[in-house]
Amino acid sequence: MKIKIPDLDKNYEDLIDELVQSIPNFSAEWTNFNPSDPGITLLELFSYIAEFLIYRSNQVTQKTYFNFLQLIAGAKQLDPLDDLQADLLDQVTKWEKNQQTDLPTIRAMVQRYWSYTNRAISTRDFYALALEAYFSVDTAIPAPNINYRELTLTQLEQIRRVIVIPDEDTFAINVMLNPPPEPALDSGALLLAVKNNLITKRPIGTVINVRMVHYTYICLYMALTISSSFAEKTIEDTIRTKIKAYLNSITGGNDHKGWPMGQSLGLYELKLIAEDVEGVEEVDQVCLNHYEVIDEDGEKQLLKSLGQDAAKKIFPHLANIKNPGTYLKTGSSAAESAIFLNNYLKSPLLVIAHPQDTIKVIRKKADTAKAREAEDKIPFKSVFVPELVKLQDITFVYKLEQGRVDGTFSH
């Protein structure tokens, strides 16, 4: 991305003309633009001062040019990536010995370096370099001969194997990798390849964080009324396939461009998907299944396990962390609670919006035969998703269409 350099080549006459011409935009009553007018006198004074300040701002010292050259060329302790970088590093050494080349020549060298070398400056550059490294490991599907540096940021984002999120507060680049479930890839090799490719090409001082993307897994309970002419297994398989396709991180979502990062999953969306399946007469109920709400005792244990400092950092809205229960009912805290609980505790915890307009934290029950048989249905409006979401399982319960033998059964 090119930086637009402001036009600082303005003199006194240019400035006073612009100011006088702009007067009607601010005051229709001001009609006397002669030098004798006190307002014009003030504008002339301001223009004189501005011309002086602009002249000073427009001067770039030799030391500043040298600092910029160092930033662009990179660390001398590392081997240069190519001849173009080697030439710039050589210019840094000559400058330190007061043997520098003239500025126009150095500018031309920098332009060639930026045009032909894969240095990472913008978000688009980090996307391109990360994808190059990713597909050097993920070779299951032969990648076409693509120069990722020639793609736009939108095109790079749509590939969805890599997600880049710059952190403006810490000046870090957060890179998340999103490989397909099949075939299984060596996550260690992926992480190492991407990080090594970015570390050597980042701007000095930029922190690079590379990790696998986090998935929120959900288990559902669905009660359906179905037509007598359709097999239950066919309906089950179709609903599972459609929901998984909708949540797919590569091709899912409403626009089929991948499930958006951080988008919550709503109850209404799931009902619409199931109701659209042929043979489903009505979706009577959709709940989360095999979860339990963390009560006050569980919440006390949770906050205790965090420690006071961590709890204050993650839940800054808590007036008193010794009084648990507050964050469960604070809507604004849902997002940060979900991110922390899912990403940092590495526990099967979800943060949901409950139909009673409260925020609840729920926990997956132990995977035992007794737990699987129990109906641990928890109503919800939406599940807060820190990054991406996957369907883990659906338990189906059927209400038979009128005219069939009464009864319910589950699979």
For 197-221, what is each residue's pLDDT tens digit? 888 788 777 889 999 988 888 889 9
Contact 280, 271 (CB under 8 A): no
Of 233 and 356, the structure prediction assigns the larger pLDDT to 233
At 235 the pLDDT is 93
Residue 115 has a pLDDT of 65
**Cα–Cα separations (whole angstroms), residue 217 to 288, 348, 396:** 11, 8, 18
More confident residue, 340 or 106: 106
Three-state SS annotation for 223-282: EEEECCCCCHHHHHHHHHHHHHHHHCCCCCCCCCCCCCCCCCEEHHHHHHHHHCCCCEEE
pLDDT of residue 326: 38
Predicted structure pTM score: 0.63
Task: Decide the pairing of beta strands 359-364 and 291-293.
Answer: antiparallel
Name the most confidently modeled range: 9-13, 83-87, 378-382.
378-382
CA distance 288 to 364: 10
236-276 per-position pLDDT tens digit = 999 999 999 999 998 899 888 889 888 888 899 999 999 99
Q: What is the pLDDT of residue 78?
A: 67
Give residue 58's pLDDT. Answer: 75
Please give the backbone phi and psi of residue 206, each rounded to the nearest 5 degrees, phi first.
-85, 130
Please, which pLDDT band fits residue 6 given cuts at 50, 70 and 90? low
Average per-residue pLDDT in the chain?
77
Residue 106 to residues 87, 112, 113, 135, Cα–Cα distance (Å): 10, 10, 10, 35
Strand order in the sheet with 207-212: 162-167, 172-177, 207-212
Report whether pLDDT(39) > 60: yes
Taking only the tens place, the pLDDT of each residue in 110-124 is 877 776 666 787 888
pLDDT of residue 283: 92
